Amino acid sequence: MNKSLVKVSMPVLDPLIRNQNFMEVEQGYTPYDAVLEANRCLECKHMPCVNACPVEINIPGFIHEIKEKNFDKAYQIITNDSMLPAVCGRVCPQESQCESVCVRSIKGESVGIGRLERFVADYHYEQEHSTCDFDIHKNDMKVAIVGSGPAGLSCACELLKRGYDVTIYEALHAPGGVLTYGIPAFRLPKSIVSKEINNLIEHGVVLKTNTVIGKTLYLEDLFEDGFKAIFIATGAGLPQFLNIEGETLNGVYSANEFLTRVNLMKAYEKDQATPIYKDEIVSVVGGGNVAMDAARSALRLGAKQVHIIYRRSIDELPARKAEIEHALEEGIIFDMLTNPVEIIGDSYGFVKAMKCVKMKLGELDQSGRRRPIEIEGSEFEFKTDVVIIAVGTTPNPLISKTSPDLDINHKGCIITIDETGITSKAFVFAGGDAVTGAATVIEAMGAGKKSAVAIDQILS
């Protein structure tokens, strides 16, 4: 039993070195570290952490195996419930899920569940027997999954285990959804994502890239092709803008476009054809994880100064605390209580400055956060060369446009009757950001898994 009140620390790359490249910031545990941290776990009988996990991983179970140095057994326990442990160990907000209810956190820090999950997965992949073994009894029924992000992958995995022939359709040329185009390599190395996806393909999942459901093929085409059910996991990919003057100037990006150019198209590598507009001063508008990712990416592309512009204060930033800390360490400047009102361009149509107002915080609003109020007469202008807008995304309407019997709400989210993802259209299920609007990787995975169970029930 390790009685330390704090987690075994995880080595990180030096901020002033890492902000020059896309290498992974957090370096992960050694087996020694992992066993030491695992020994902080009390293996509580009532397992609060399991209930707080959207996919209900047997957390005390896998941690027990780490204590015994049965790392592979630990991996098998996790993959009973999640096929993306290396991804989730890195990007899940454990602090607001499993770790938030850890008994150890009553006095001191919680057990580092995320770090341990990541260790188990990384250790497994390092041993080069990258397949996980589960018996599959084929039932010769085909299910189509639309979108290869976290919700789609998790649904695919669960259906695979239950014997279905699974085909995943992906609109882009590479699978992974937000794991591939959204989250930068310094937070989630792309080799990790492809390993976990290849794992599914090796087990028989068919992946069809370059296929936009709603454009290339419609839902009806899939049913005609013999699919018995369809799970829609198309995410929330439509970027929102601020609707202020100057948003069509050159040098203004949605975070989606900026991150796609960087992560999917590798625009920072010299031999890639995809361009990206770089300059000295970059302003990122927004305060979530995506804003942090964009700001830290801009720094790595060589910006001299990167600002986060957010209308509330630092305490209300929706980004994970660890991401904010990393961004601060790397030298990102946080301009809080600031709201843009206009982007100003030069005569060639390129950004040269941004006009903002200062804000103060008022009463609590519906989101439970203090409402930002404009301070009159506080308008000011500052020089900026690039503006990246990271104020959220909404679901993509491509499928609902060609399937009028698929009901959506006013925000474009697909309406489901309960958490199994049943939609208004027979044998069509939906889950993840396409239903909830932008949320987390693990919540999407939880939805995918629940729909898989529901699909299995309806088809068997």
Partner 1 sequence: MYKIILKKALTDQITQMNVYAPDVVKHAKAGQFVILRVDESGERIPLTIADVDKNDGTITIIFQVIGKTTYLLNQKKENEYILDFVGPLGLATNIDDLQNVLVISGGVGSAIAYPLCKALFNQGTYVDLIAGYKSISQMILYNEFEAVTHHQFYTTDDGSFGKKGFVTDVLKTLLEKQTYDHVFAIGPIVMMKAVSEITKLYHIPTTVSLNPIMIDGTGMCGGCRVKIGNQMKFACVDGPDFDGHLVDYDNLLKRNQMYVEKESKDFNEVKSRGDHHE
CB of 428 to partner 1, least distance (A): 19
User: What distance in Å separates the CA atoms of residue 319 and residue 231, rounded to the nearest whole number?
Assistant: 29
CB of 234 to partner 1, least distance (A): 9
Q: Which is nearer to partner 1, 163 or 397 (CB)?
A: 397
CB of 1 to partner 1, least distance (A): 49
**Centroid of chain to Cα 120:** 20
User: Which of 127, 136, 138, 215 is the binder for partner 1 (CB under 8 A)?
Assistant: 215
Q: Would you count residue 334 as binding partner 1 (CB under 8 A)?
A: no
- Which positions from 42 to 81 touch partner 1 by CB under 8 A, shown as an x/- string? ----------------------------------------
Strand 338-345 relative to strand 351-364, pairing: antiparallel
In sequence order, what DSSP letters do the residues of 75-136 get, joined into one string?
HHHHHTT-S-HHHHHHHS-GGGTGGGG-GGGGSSPPP-HHHHHHHHHHHHHHTT--------
Can you list the alpha helix ranges (DSSP code H) found in 303-440?
321-330, 398-402, 433-436
Q: Would you count residue 460 as binding partner 1 (CB under 8 A)?
A: no
| Token output for 306 | 């990167």
- Which positions from 230 to 259 touch partner 1 by CB under 8 A, shown as an x/- string? -------xxx-x-x---xx-xx-xx-xx--
Q: Which is nearer to partner 1, 40 or 261 (CB)?
A: 261
User: What distance in Å separates the CA atoms of residue 187 and residue 22, rounded to the nearest whole number?
Assistant: 9
User: What distance in Å separates the CA atoms of residue 224 and residue 423, rounded to the nearest whole number?
Assistant: 19
User: Which of 4, 9, 191, 272 is the binder for partner 1 (CB under 8 A)?
Assistant: 272
CB of 277 to partner 1, least distance (A): 6
Q: Would you count residue 21 as binding partner 1 (CB under 8 A)?
A: no
- DSSP class of residue 217 equals B
Q: Which is nearer to partner 1, 134 or 241 (CB)?
A: 241
CB of 221 to partner 1, least distance (A): 7
**Centroid of chain to Cα 335:** 25
CB of 181 to partner 1, least distance (A): 8
Reported in sequence order, the residue ranges of 3-154 that DSSP labels E, i.e. its strands, are: 142-146
| Token output for 12 | 């990180």
| Token output for 11 | 């080595």
- Binding residues for partner 1 restricted to 341-360, rule: CB under 8 A: 348-349
Q: Which is nearer to partner 1, 50 or 399 (CB)?
A: 399
User: What distance in Å separates the CA atoms of residue 155 and residue 82, rounded to the nearest whole number?
Assistant: 10
CB of 199 to partner 1, least distance (A): 22
Stretch binding partner 1 (CB under 8 A), from 157-165, 262-270, 363-371, 414-422: 262-270
- Which positions from 165 to 204 touch partner 1 by CB under 8 A, shown as an x/- string? ------xxx-------x-----------------------
User: Which of 9, 20, 210, 460 is the binder for partner 1 (CB under 8 A)?
Assistant: 210
Residue 213 β-bridge partners: 217
331, 304 contact by CB (below 8 A): no
User: What distance in Å separates the CA atoms of residue 215 and residue 235, rounded to the nearest whole number?
Assistant: 16
User: What distance in Å separates the CA atoms of residue 291 and residue 344, rounded to the nearest whole number?
Assistant: 21
Q: Which is nearer to partner 1, 83 or 172 (CB)?
A: 172
User: Which of 20, 127, 274, 460 is the binder for partner 1 (CB under 8 A)?
Assistant: 274
Can you list the alpha helix ranges (DSSP code H) found in 366-411?
398-402
251: left (phi over 0), alpha (psi -120 to 50) or beta: left
113, 458 contact by CB (below 8 A): no
Q: Would you count residue 223 as binding partner 1 (CB under 8 A)?
A: no
How many residues bind partner 1 (CB under 8 A)? The answer is 43
Dihedral in degrees, nearest 10, Cα atoms 275, 21, 149, 404: -30
Q: Would you count residue 310 as binding partner 1 (CB under 8 A)?
A: no
Footprint of partner 1 on this chain (CB under 8 A)? 171-173, 181, 209-212, 215-218, 221, 237-239, 241, 243, 247-248, 250-251, 253-254, 256-257, 260-261, 264-266, 269, 271-275, 277, 348-349, 396-398
